[in-house]
Structure 1
């Protein structure tokens, strides 16, 4: 008969598994309720560990937030790579990339955690600014020398608006719209913002 594993320390799993469980629970909590409302105790409970283990692995709630909301390096590389390919289709490629990241269960919580927390948490606000100015700026600068900074911010407003309306407050009909349809609707707007004339 197999013995059941009990105990209160949270060390039933290996350290890597425990750390990953905390990160997963924290990312979900920050995405669902934002930085202020996500408590160390609730995150620990969701991960099935003692709250002291969060401090052990991440140092603090701030350190935990910073680590679990870091964008995977491949996301930045994917954004930079969008400049490759036909210029007349860059809006479509960008829309596909954005919707793809928001539909992906692995990356959506990272973006939503930043957005939900940005209004009240300076670190989260800085991460959102970084996404707009640096990551999108790399793309727009590689496409044109006509106001790339402004284009990055304008594209960022569309990304943030989409994420907030479709995935946070879930306004219909956008919330239930098929992902491919969202791409089709956004692609012309992104095309104009990224490489089209910004004024008549």
Structure 2
């Protein structure tokens, strides 16, 4: 016998409400985990600490994410930057725009990887692969014999600026505006992303 329409609607609303609650709880746990990993790194962060800050039982964290390793993988998953391509001046501006975004808002997922990379192999692998991907993109437009060195330097510089501002909080770098930082870096990145044949001559 079919149940009344009102009862079916109540059951449907109840199931939807429970599904929404689950999604909200998962999202809250993930956001807290991202922050805890970025503050303490993989080794020092604990499921208990994450659960406490997310106001849930530690067992629920494991129920949703399975393990600390899997939670870390989800918390450090990042959206790739826009592809880098074009003439050297455009490449430099794209790098500076990506850096500007990381300086404007604290990139917690990226910081979680950076703080963890010296002690956690998965984090080190993630950082290394992201930099290699950037190197491959930039090197496509370079005809220099030292293209690999140039692209490695661009990655090291931008990575170092993010670490210096957000993790080390270096004087000057910590309080400078993103515009100040990117303006100072522009000549350096333009030089690195330009092939030697395109460099202005000494006489100029």
State TM-score, norm by structure 2.
Answer: 0.80
Aligned-partner Cα distance in 2 for 1:143–1:90:
9
Q: Which digits, 9 at most, give the CA deviation of each residue in 1:117-175, with x for residues without a partner?
A: 001111111011011112x1242133224344333321111122101111111111111
Aligned match of 1:88: 89
Higher gyration radius (CA): 2
Partner in structure 2 of residue 51 of structure 1: 58
- How far apart, in 2, do the equivalents of 1:91 and 1:118 lie? 26
CA RMSD, 1 decimal: 2.3
Question: Take 1:37 and 1:172, find their aligned partners in 2: how far apart are those partners?
Answer: 26
Separation of aligned partners in 1, 2:34 and 2:94: 27
1:73-131 residue CA offsets vs partner (Å, 9 max, x unmatched): 4x2xx1x1x324x53243233112112134234xx101111110001111111011011
CA pair 64-145 structure 1, distance change in 2 beyond 3 A: farther
Once the two structures are superposed, what CA deviation does each residue of 1:32-84 show, in whole Å capped at 9, x if it has no partner? 111111111011111111111221111111111111111114x2xx1x1x324
What secondary structure is seen at the aligned counterpart in 1 of 2:169?
coil
Unaligned runs of 5+ in 1: 1-10
CA distance in 2, matches of 1:156, 1:59: 34
Output the TM-score relative to the length of structure 1.
0.81
Residues 176/14 of structure 1: CA separation in 2 closer, same or farther (3 Å cut): same
1:156 is aligned to 155
How far apart, in 1, do the equivalents of 2:62 and 2:147 lie? 41
Distance 1:127 1:102 in 2: 20
Contact 1:92 1:184 survives alignment (8 Å): no
Aligned to 1:98: 99
SS in structure 2 at match of 1:143: coil
From the superposition, tell whether residues 14 and 89 of structure 1 become closer, same or farther in structure 2 (CA, over 3 Å): same
The match for 2:185 is 186
Match of 2:138 in 1: 140
Match for residue 37 of structure 1 among 33, 36, 44: 44
